[in-house]
Amino acid sequence: MRGLKALGAGALAVTLVSGAGWAAQAGDSQTAPTSGQVSRAAAAAAVDGYQVVRLPNANVPNFQRRTVYCPSGKVVIGGGAEAQGNDATLVGSFPTDDGRGWIGLGRQTRYADVGISVYAICAYA
């Protein structure tokens, strides 16, 4: 099955792609790690071509969209955005219509611009 790599015997890995993600392992005496214990390496082992693409913080006019795209051949499987600045509010964080990227937008109540960072979690389809 394209998109998932085979795991060793006794291990079952499940990755949620909502941006938070978690993994569970089945074995003799192992317990499932919490979401904070899952590393990027675990996600990369479970999802073919796993990659986080970042659009670093930049000030843009209020409500202006910032978009980050996955590399060629990959699709977005999750993502997020952050609004930075005094009284900053994240207004939107969602995938692009074509499924190849992630969009973030925000606003500040006392200023004409806002700092926006955007993240896309990408993998092979």
How many independent structural domains does the chain possess? 2
40 and 101 both lie in a single domain: no
Question: 56-82 pLDDT, tens per residue?
Answer: 999 999 999 999 999 999 999 999 999
Which segments of the chain have a pLDDT < 50?
Answer: 1-30
Closest C-alpha among 39, 116, 44 to residue 77: 44
Domain that holds residue 86: 51-124
58 and 109 both lie in a single domain: yes
User: Given this model, what pLDDT does residue 39 score?
Assistant: 67
42 and 98 both lie in a single domain: no
| Phi then psi dihedrals of residue 11, to 5 deg | -125, 140
User: Given this model, what pLDDT does residue 46 score?
Assistant: 82
39 and 75 both lie in a single domain: no
Whether the Cβ atoms of residue 17 and residue 77 lie closer than 8 Å to each other: yes
Strand duo 66-69 + 101-108: pairing? antiparallel
33 and 63 both lie in a single domain: no
14 and 61 both lie in a single domain: no
